[in-house]
Structure 1
């Protein structure tokens, strides 16, 4: 059964207590590729908690993933993490997530 502890992924917090629009705007402006991350998607055996779909971003040259996650703890809300990634991580995300449609 997948864990729900995003802290197991490491990384650093980019945005804290952010709105969907803030996360999506940051990811769109700061990553080479974006994908639609849906609630309960499992990445590296972590079930991603979200209230609604949000953008996930791939920073290819820096080998990073911009990963939103909604922490149920008071004072956190939706957090955007930048975590280290491998080519296998990129391949898994590309194969299992949809790209956003232009103009949406």
Structure 2
């Protein structure tokens, strides 16, 4: 059963108590690849808690994934984590999620995210 604690991924906090727009804008500025992620998505056996769909970013050359997460204990709002990723992790994101590079419908984007 998936866990709800992102602490087990040992990521670096990039943004704390951020809005979805702030997270999405940050990811768009710092990642060439990004994908739409919905609340409840499971990554590395962690259920990603979010208030609404957002973006997850890949920094391939650095081997990092930028992953938003809403912490409920204590209530810290949405946090953007930088998590070390190997090729399997990057491929999992690519194969499971739809690219949002030219899509809309997410806060901070200009078109509609389609399934």
| TM-score with structure 2 setting the length | 0.87
For 2:10 and 2:84, the matched residues in 1 are separated by 8
Q: Which runs of 5+ in 1 are unaligned?
A: none
Question: Cα RMSD between the aligned structures?
Answer: 1.1
| TM-score with structure 1 setting the length | 0.96
- 1:39 CA drift (Å): 0.3
Residues 1-104 of structure 1: pairs in structure 2 closer than 5 A = 1-100=1-100, 101=103, 103-104=110-111
Q: Which runs of 5+ in 2 are unaligned?
A: 105-109
Q: Contact conserved, 1:17 with 1:75, CA < 8 A, in 2? A: no
For 1:62 and 1:56, the matched residues in 2 are separated by 15
How many equivalent residue pairs? 104
- 1:74 CA drift (Å): 3.7
